[in-house]
């Protein structure tokens, strides 16, 4: 799926809606305006829906943007804005759901002609916001990684890997758009946005105001419930991520890594340090003539070809044990079934406790003579030291999920020979050990990048059934399978 394919689909859908409405609802005063409303409306409804199946994914993308903005403003005169972004990052999920609902509702409002003047204003304002967002992302490709965005004199040639955010998230995980394409896409949408703003009174309006109100209220209720279900109640209904059910992770990871190792240098971009002249030549030519371009005068950038197998997040799949050893292949090459508990973030706090530690033990004795009998009594004196020990105390609710829901399943499956591992991110070794004791785990708890774990699964924690390096099924902790059903699956 590409953006061009989507635009063609939106164009056709808008034509169909325009014809249907003209035949059974109302003949439009302006066919062009009617089609344009339907085109933009379908675009926004679709864009919102593919994000509504996974609002947490959009929230994670927003967190990346907030972090990039904080780093950008901190060293500038506008550094007073920097603390704002960590603050709003704490509410990224709420903002994500709000933006998704707004996007879908705007799309429906455009199609039915609801409140033309206000819809046009909000639509145009939202497009301006999106354009600034994608424009910033794209333009950071011209900014060296060690330079600030506002150091305009330090801007150089466009390098994709310099961008502070890899993609805009405009269509969630359904379609990853290069920020450059996203930026020009938003510039394109500003044209109908400006038309709606100028000719708001000429917008096509369908049905009566009462029917339009009913459509908007009904759509709002459905959208809110749909977004909340996919956020708090279950894994996304439609999973567009590479770690979906049935994904052959072991095979795909090997193919992607092999393709990355086989990449060939196709050309070399050579930049003169004095004149900023840039010369691009084939790699074979450069190898023959490299003496013409001494390092003191020329900087070189090697350009690689595209991999035969496109890279996904599966290439980054890596699990480490508590000693720092890579145990990824132990999981991916394991035969038959295994279970994995994904807990990308374990909430809790570090507390300091004072404990008594034995320092030394002294033994002494005395003899007592009584009626010609000598009795010896031994006295033991223990000296101790008071020491402060840090301990990680996990969130009680999360401990209860493990103890009451997950452990009964995986501990029983262990008796059937089905091994379990738990993987978490963001904790130190001592914290993981404390967490393991708190939940009473009889399985190892390993480490991985928290962003990777978020990509694999939105539920925190969640359960994954593996078979021969393939993801068989994923379960949200609120919808775990019955023990009997799980046993039947692994027979």
For the CA atoms of 327, 333, 338, 342, what is the dihedral angle to 10 degrees?
A: 40
- Distance (Å, rounded) from C-alpha 484 to C-alpha 475? 15
- Distance (Å, rounded) from C-alpha 157 to C-alpha 336? 50
Total number of residues shown for the chain: 491
Whether the bond into 461 is cis, omega within 30 of 0:
yes
457: left (phi over 0), alpha (psi -120 to 50) or beta: beta
| pLDDT of amino acid 367 | 54
Mean pLDDT calculated for residue range 228-255: 93
| pLDDT of amino acid 429 | 93
- Distance (Å, rounded) from C-alpha 86 to C-alpha 478? 29
Nearest to 486 by CA among 418, 387, 394: 418
Nearest to 120 by CA among 32, 196, 30, 36: 196
Distance of CA 192 to the CA centre of its chain: 31
Under 8 Å CB-to-CB from 371, ≥6 apart: which residues? none
Q: What is the token pair recorded at 89?
A: 């990052």
| C-alpha atoms less than 13 angstroms from C-alpha of 148 in its C-beta half-sphere | 13
- Distance (Å, rounded) from C-alpha 18 to C-alpha 10? 12
| pLDDT of amino acid 144 | 84
- Distance (Å, rounded) from C-alpha 328 to C-alpha 8? 42
* 398, pLDDT greater than 90: yes
* 409, pLDDT greater than 90: yes
Higher pLDDT, 383 or 56: 56
- Distance (Å, rounded) from C-alpha 51 to C-alpha 172? 5
| pLDDT of amino acid 275 | 78
Q: Quick one: pLDDT band at residue 78, thresholds 50, 70, 90?
A: confident
Nearest to 207 by CA among 120, 102, 118, 108: 108
Question: What DSSP letter does each residue of 55-116 carry, written as one string?
Answer: HHHHHHHHHHHHHHHHHHHTTSTTGGGTTHHHHHHTTHHHHHHHHHHHHHHHHHHHHHT-SH
| pLDDT of amino acid 277 | 75
Q: Quick one: pLDDT band at residue 373, thresholds 50, 70, 90?
A: low
| pLDDT of amino acid 414 | 93
* 363, pLDDT greater than 80: no
- Distance (Å, rounded) from C-alpha 314 to C-alpha 248? 10
Query: Which of 22-26, 143-147, 263-267, 366-370 is the least confident region?
Result: 366-370
359 by DSSP, 3-state: which?
strand
Instruction: Kindly list the distances between the CA atom of residue 121 and the CA atoms of 101, 209, 223, 354, 375, in Å, as whole numbers in the listed order.
Output: 17, 19, 22, 61, 100
pLDDT tens digits along 136-182? 989 998 888 888 898 888 887 787 778 888 788 889 889 988 888 99
Mean pLDDT value across the chain: 89
pLDDT tens digits along 336-358? 999 999 999 999 998 877 666 55
């Amino acid at each position: 799926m590409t953006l061009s394919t989507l635009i063609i689909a939106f164009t056709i859908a808008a034509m169909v809606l325009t014809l249907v409405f003209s035949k059974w609802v109302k003949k439009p005063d302006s066919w062009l305006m009617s089609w344009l409303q339907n085109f933009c409306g379908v675009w926004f409804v679709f864009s919102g829906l593919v994000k509504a199946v996974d609002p947490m994914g959009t929230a994670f993308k927003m967190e990346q943007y907030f972090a990039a903005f904080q780093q950008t403003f901190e060293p500038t005169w506008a550094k007073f804005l920097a603390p704002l972004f960590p603050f709003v990052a704490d509410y990224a999920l709420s903002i994500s759901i709000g933006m998704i609902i707004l996007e879908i509702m705007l799309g429906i409002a455009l199609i039915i002609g609801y409140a033309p003047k206000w819809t046009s204003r909000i639509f145009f304002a939202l497009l301006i916001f999106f354009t600034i967002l994608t424009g910033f992302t794209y333009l950071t490709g011209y900014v060296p990684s060690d330079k600030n965005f506002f150091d305009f004199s330090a801007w150089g040639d466009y390098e994709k890997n310099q961008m502070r955010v890899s993609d805009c998230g405009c269509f969630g995980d359904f379609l990853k758009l290069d920020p450059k394409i996203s930026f020009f896409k938003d510039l394109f949408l500003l044209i109908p946005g400006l038309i709606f703003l100028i000719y708001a009174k000429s917008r096509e309006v369908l049905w009566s105001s009462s029917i339009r109100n009913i459509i908007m209220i009904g759509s709002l209720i459905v959208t809110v419930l749909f977004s909340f279900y996919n956020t708090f109640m279950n894994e996304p209904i439609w999973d567009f991520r590479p770690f979906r059910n049935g994904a052959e992770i072991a095979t795909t990871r090997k193919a992607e890594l092999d393709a990355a190792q086989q990449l060939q240098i196709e050309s070399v971009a050579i930049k003169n340090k004095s004149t900023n002249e840039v010369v691009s030549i084939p790699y074979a030519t450069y190898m023959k003539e490299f003496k013409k371009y001494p390092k003191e005068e020329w900087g070189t950038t090697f350009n690689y070809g595209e991999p035969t197998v496109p890279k996904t997040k599966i290439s980054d799949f890596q699990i480490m044990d508590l000693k720092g050893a890579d145990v990824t292949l132990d999981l991916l090459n394991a035969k038959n079934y295994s279970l994995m508990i994904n807990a990308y973030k374990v909430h809790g706090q570090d507390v300091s406790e004072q404990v008594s530690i034995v320092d030394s033990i002294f033994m002494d004795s005395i003899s007592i003579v009584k009626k010609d009998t000598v009795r010896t009594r031994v006295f033991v004196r223990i000296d101790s030291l008071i020491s402060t020990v840090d301990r990680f105390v996990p969130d009680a609710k999360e401990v209860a999920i493990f103890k009451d829901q997950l452990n009964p399943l995986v501990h029983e499956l262990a008796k059937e020979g089905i091994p379990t591992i738990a993987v978490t991110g963001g904790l130190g070794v001592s914290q993981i050990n404390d967490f393991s004791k708190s939940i009473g785990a009889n399985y190892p708890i390993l480490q991985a990048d928290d962003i990777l774990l978020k990509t694999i699964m939105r539920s925190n924690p969640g359960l994954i059934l593996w078979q021969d390096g393939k993801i068989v099924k994923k379960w949200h902790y609120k919808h775990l399978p019955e023990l009997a059903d799980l046993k039947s699956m692994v027979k």
